[in-house]
Structure 1
Amino acid sequence: MPSVNIAIGAILTMLTMAAVTPAAADHKPEHTLKLHHFLGPKSIAHTKMLEPWAKKVEEESEGRIKIDIFPAMSLGGSPLQLASQVRDGVVDIIWTLNGYTPQLFPRTEVFELPGVHTNDIVATNLAMQELFDEWLSDEYDGVKVIALHVHAGQGIQMRDTPVRSIGDLGGKQMRIPSRTGAWIIEALGATPVGMPVPDLPQALSTGRVDGALIPWEIIPPLKIEELTEYQIEGPDSERFGTATFQIAMNQGAYDSLPPDLQSVIDANSGDAIAKDIGAVWQESEDIGIAVALADGNEHIVLTEEEMAPFRDAMAPIIDRWIEEVGEKGIDGQALLDAARAAIAKHSTAM
């Protein structure tokens, strides 16, 4: 019987290998990528944008790519270091606010200027992708840009001061996200205070700032409704400039992927996800303002007559930006015209 036992043992071994080895190989990722960002795990950016994107990439790669997401700067450093972390290969992918490192992205700032982004998030997102190769790509050496995008725009959110005129902001300390945000606040007679948005709740609670330029979507994750009484915007959801963001991958990490997996990343980049990102951020705006109203806050919508002085005060910011980027050899007027035309085109196409 020894030969029979040996034969049975051999068959069992073969069946075990057939059952385990191929399946394990099919499900073991070939490339594990680290994605780092500055907001918490309950934020809209994490749950509605980054997690679904990562899952889609993993599924379309048939499990050969795995993306581990690290929120709230859990891999170390500050939000201001995210752009350098991905360029230097400390992490593979980042999501960050360009305004945290404004010296690196002067061209992309055009979309932050008051009156350029016209409150159609999808249109502005598509315009950014359209202008990327000709106008913006020089700012992103060392990274594979997966997407550029904006949020709905900066609303004015105040601890205890209703704002219906520029004079209401006089002397106030206001958190800003970027240098363009600082220019806007200065033009409106207040003092800009720069800080990453995760630091805002403490600044509001201690009175370090009287208010902030932030969109509605950030209200729920940071519990801004508990720290403010007023949310202010212009007619037709008009805001006070916006902020630009990037999802970017280290170029070396991208280049290390085989062509078929690069194609998976490409298929989930640029125009392919710009609309989805826009829809997510617009939905999150509606949720955010609803949370504030449910907590008893007042949503002030300025009339056309009330908004006109704000527009007039912010208008010189355009010339200031054109002059400053001109010193860097950038044709700011041509870029401004191109940005406005692209946004208008995509707004019409919606």
Structure 2
Amino acid sequence: MKAKHLLALAALSTLIPGAVLAQEVVLKVAHFVPPTAPGHTKFIAPWCDKLASESAGRIKCQIYPAMQLGGTPAQLLSQVRDGVADVVWTLPGYTPGRFPVTEVFELPFMTREQEGSSRALWDFVQKNTLKSEFAGLHPLATWVPGPYTLHLRAAQPKVMADLKDMKIRSSSRLTTRLLSALGASPVGMPVTQMSEALSKGVIEATMLPWEVVPAMKVHELTKFSAEFGGDHTLTTTTMVFVMNKKKYDSLPADLKKVIDANSGRETSAWVSGQLKSADAASRAATLKNGNTIYQIPAEETAKWKKTASTVNDEWVKEMSAKGVDGNKLLAEANALVDHYADKK
């Protein structure tokens, strides 16, 4: 009986156009922050909503925030490569050594206005690291967040010497080198471990963009926040939103078009802009909490920049040891950042 029904439906589908349902896809989207964080509410959820709308409901997301698929943030790249997740948002800095060329954008005083620098990062990746560092992955967006601010439990450093031996959380390999060059004692850890480390005094400070502060309760665990002026940011981390390449390749052409329309240079800038919109609110929440926000003077920042140049030199030497022209890549990254910054 069941077979007869199936044959009848098959026959009917040949007579009635559209009777066969178009393919539907469910994407498992994983990331590392809580569902209250701007990265979830202003980026991941709206992006999934856009896919659903533009595909007439044929693309749906199952979102797994805060590592709900298991594992640690450092394992997100493996999860998407292995198909445990279809799409992930993560930081290359959580897997040191796997993105040595892409991390040029994490060098001290490299990036400028974040949306322009995010466009620059996308172009750089497409030209230089797509086939190597992103093998097995289909990039959807690459971006940099807002300027990293130094958030401190009790101390209020105003000159570089005040950082000596201070235990400061670092989010990437190059941020670790920067903090070491400035005299601090960097402690590498993902953002998921940061709040507990602050509350227990394991670290005395953390480097973090404003938009993450309330979701991780950093403003409740610190008293001071030091900002750095100037056109270039003291430091930042690259962020990537990537899809399992086999999953992307398996999609029908019309659904690939929907994904493509929500990927690329402008999507990278859009993500950065979505997170940027949370910066002011997060900063205001910090002030409302009674914290002190202050600026490191330009003349003092210039001293930090001069000292930090050794990090750039070391990166260039590392690239040369790998047979890569580090100076050329550094110049190209700088040119792209300046190019997009001039197109505001």
Judge same fold: TM > 0.5, yes or no: yes
* Residue type of the alignment partner of 2:127: E
Distance 1:93 1:279 in 2: 20
Q: 1:117 aligns with which of 95, 111, 122?
A: 111
Specify the SS of the correspondent of 2:214. Answer: helix
Distance 2:318 2:282 in 1: 35
- Structure (1 or 2) with the larger CA radius of gyration: 1
- The answer as to whether partners of 2:124 and 2:333 remain within 8 angstroms in 1 is yes
Specify the SS of the correspondent of 2:118. Answer: helix
Structure 2 matches for 1:151-230, cutoff 5 A? 151-230=145-224
Q: How far did 1:262 drift?
A: 0.7
Query: Is the alpha carbon distance of 1:57 and 1:24 closer, same or farther for their aligned partners in structure 2, counting shifts above 3 Å?
Result: farther
Q: 2:129 aligns with which of 136, 140, 154?
A: 136
Query: Is the alpha carbon distance of 1:231 and 1:29 closer, same or farther for their aligned partners in structure 2, counting shifts above 3 Å?
Result: farther
- State yes or no: 1:100 paired with 2:59: no
Q: How far did 1:238 drift?
A: 5.1
Distance 2:234 2:219 in 1: 20
Partner of residue 306, structure 1: 300
Q: 1:255 aligns with which of 236, 249, 262?
A: 249
Query: Is the alpha carbon distance of 1:239 and 1:134 closer, same or farther for their aligned partners in structure 2, counting shifts above 3 Å?
Result: closer
Specify the SS of the correspondent of 1:126. Answer: helix
**Structure 2 gap ranges (5+):** 1-16
* Residue type of the alignment partner of 1:74: Q
Specify the SS of the correspondent of 2:71. Answer: coil
Q: How far did 1:168 drift?
A: 1.1
Residue by residue over 1:91-143, the C-alpha shift from the partner in whole angstroms, topping out at 9 and shown as x without a partner, is: 1000001100121111110111112102x011111111222222121210001
TM-score by length of 1: 0.90
- The answer as to whether partners of 1:165 and 1:306 remain within 8 angstroms in 2 is yes
Partner of residue 13, structure 2: none
Greater fraction of residues in helix: 1
Distance 1:260 1:25 in 2: 16
- State yes or no: 1:316 paired with 2:282: no
Distance 1:287 1:236 in 2: 22
- The answer as to whether partners of 1:174 and 1:213 remain within 8 angstroms in 2 is yes
* Residue type of the alignment partner of 1:70: Y
Residue by residue over 1:210-244, the C-alpha shift from the partner in whole angstroms, topping out at 9 and shown as x without a partner, is: 00111111111011111001111212475321000
Residue by residue over 1:8-43, the C-alpha shift from the partner in whole angstroms, topping out at 9 and shown as x without a partner, is: xxxxxxxxxxxxxx99987x9711110000000000
Moved runs in structure 1, 4+ residues, more than 6 A?
22-26
Query: Is the alpha carbon distance of 1:123 and 1:272 closer, same or farther for their aligned partners in structure 2, counting shifts above 3 Å?
Result: closer
The alignment yields a C-alpha RMSD, in angstroms, of: 1.9
Distance 1:126 1:115 in 2: 17
Q: 1:148 aligns with which of 120, 142, 153?
A: 142
- The answer as to whether partners of 1:157 and 1:214 remain within 8 angstroms in 2 is yes
Partner of residue 42, structure 1: 36
* Residue type of the alignment partner of 1:40: P
- State yes or no: 1:78 paired with 2:75: no
Q: How many residues align?
A: 329
Partner of residue 17, structure 1: none
Distance 1:188 1:132 in 2: 29
Residue by residue over 1:50-108, the C-alpha shift from the partner in whole angstroms, topping out at 9 and shown as x without a partner, is: 11011101111111111111000001000000011111111100000110012111111
Query: Is the alpha carbon distance of 1:186 and 1:261 closer, same or farther for their aligned partners in structure 2, counting shifts above 3 Å?
Result: same
Residue by residue over 1:276-297, the C-alpha shift from the partner in whole angstroms, topping out at 9 and shown as x without a partner, is: 1121122222122111111111
Specify the SS of the correspondent of 1:209. Answer: coil
Distance 1:134 1:236 in 2: 29
Q: 1:126 aligns with which of 119, 129, 139?
A: 119
Partner of residue 287, structure 2: 293
* Residue type of the alignment partner of 1:121: Q
Mean Cα displacement is larger for which, 236-245 or 224-233?
236-245
- The answer as to whether partners of 1:177 and 1:196 remain within 8 angstroms in 2 is yes
Q: Percent identity?
A: 38
Distance 1:89 1:124 in 2: 30
Residue by residue over 1:143-201, the C-alpha shift from the partner in whole angstroms, topping out at 9 and shown as x without a partner, is: 10001111113211110000111111111111000100100110111111111101111
- The answer as to whether partners of 1:29 and 1:63 remain within 8 angstroms in 2 is no
- The answer as to whether partners of 1:173 and 1:209 remain within 8 angstroms in 2 is yes
